[in-house]
Each structure stands twice: as structure tokens, then as C-alpha cells.
Amino acid sequence: MIVSILLANPRSGSLCHALARVAMDTCRDLGHEVRFHDLQAEEFNPVLDERELQERVPSDPLLQQHCREIREADAILVVHPNWWGQPPAILKGWVDRVLRSGVAYEFLEGDEGQGVPRGLLKAKVAIVLNTSDTPLERERAVFGDPLEALWGRCILPYCGVARMVRHTYGVVVNSTNEERAAWLEHAKTLVRGSLAN
């Protein structure tokens, strides 16, 4: 199985980085091929310009690699913090630029974009690991958990990914080393259970 792992957090020592490492190690322990991208370290350009919007096949070699790898992935794993109920801008830009028409979805013949697209990704499961400084109860009661809607109803189903497994770890800002260690163990178990053959 090919697992595409995306990390979006500018802080190199963050819990997100630790979660991504655990996820990567767990995938490899299961015998899966991992394609890992730290978007910040790669300096992925999140800006979609008009020229690129018109291109059927992007001319940027790094973007071509991302498009190819996401189409080949059997599973997708995304790690990012909850910032204002959204992923960091670099990951939103990745979605805009990589999960594009002809790569992640297509409209049926005669449909000019107003209908329901057909997802093209072969990945049938996506794991989304988030970190947050907002207690989960407040996130749900006050904000309605916008990341659940974004990944679980807007992005992944649109691209043909049938199942999402998501977990939020927090509150991070005042967490202890023991809590973080327990969260990493939880992530390992979650990834193993979601991707075991």
C-alpha cells in the first residue's frame, strides 16, 4: 500500500511533527510505502495563480510530483493544527493546487462544473490528525467542529475518498510530557487500526 503523508506546521518541534513521525514509522512497520511531504520544509508555494488555473497539466515540477503521488496513493494521512477552524494556509493552498480537476475529480461530459463531480482518487481511506488549543467540547458546541465538515464533507468525498478517520489532540498549549506520550501512542494505534491489511 502507498500512503501519502502530508504535514503542515511551521514549528519544527511541534506535536504535529511528532505525530507525523509516529504515523510514518507505523506505516513502514506495517510494510507500506510512505511518501512524506513536510510542506513547510519543502517551501511548497500555496498560491494558485490564473495561469496555473487554466493549465490542464501543471508546469511546476514539484506540483506535478504532488499530483502524481496523490493519484497513486492508496491511503492519505494529513497532520496539521487547527488554526481558526482551518488548516494552515500552506495546506489549504496544497488542496487548491493539487486536488485539482483531472487529478482528484472530474465532471461528467456535458457538465460545465455545476453538477456533482466524480472523484478520481483511488485512496479509500484518509486519516486526519489535528492538534488544538481549544477543548473539544467547546470546539463542537461553539464552532461546530469546522475541520470535521471541511475534510469529512467537503474535500475528501468530493475526491472519491470514501472513509475518513479523524482525531484531535489537545489541549496542546498546557499539555504535559505524559499527555503527549499518550497521544503519540494513541496515534500509533489509530494508524495501525486504520491501515492494517
125-149: per-residue pLDDT in tens?
Answer: 999 999 999 888 888 888 889 999 9
Peptide bond into 171 cis (omega under 30): yes
Amino acid at 79: V
Given the DSSP bridges, would you call strands 2-7 and 33-38 parallel, antiparallel or unpaired? parallel
Give the angle 160-148-175 at the CA atoms, nearest 5°: 130
pTM for this structure? Answer: 0.95
Residue listed under C-alpha cell 488544538 = 132
Q: Among 37-51, 132-146, 181-195, which stretch is predicted with the lowest mean pLDDT?
A: 132-146
Are 24 and 97 in contact by the 8 Å Cβ rule? The answer is no
- Overall fold of domain 2-195: Rossmann fold (3.40.50)
CA dihedral of 40, 31, 123, 147, whole degrees rounded to 10: -50
Q: Residue 138 has what pLDDT?
A: 86
Are 44 and 90 in contact by the 8 Å Cβ rule? The answer is yes
Give the H/E segment covering residue 2.
strand 2-7
Q: E strands, 75-188, where?
A: 75-81, 105-106, 118-119, 125-132, 163-170
Are 44 and 93 in contact by the 8 Å Cβ rule? The answer is yes
Q: Residue 184 has what pLDDT?
A: 98
Q: Among 21-25, 92-96, 134-138, which stretch is predicted with the lowest mean pLDDT?
A: 134-138
Mean pLDDT for 11-22 is: 97
CA distance 118 to 150: 18
Q: Residue 22 has what pLDDT?
A: 98
Q: Is the pLDDT of residue 66 over 70?
A: yes
Q: Residue 109 has what pLDDT?
A: 79
CA 4 to chain centre: 9
Q: Residue 197 has what pLDDT?
A: 63
Amino acid at 167: H
Q: How confident is the model at residue 26 (pLDDT cuts 50, 70, 90)?
A: very high
Are 154 and 141 in contact by the 8 Å Cβ rule? The answer is no
CA distance 91 to 18: 18
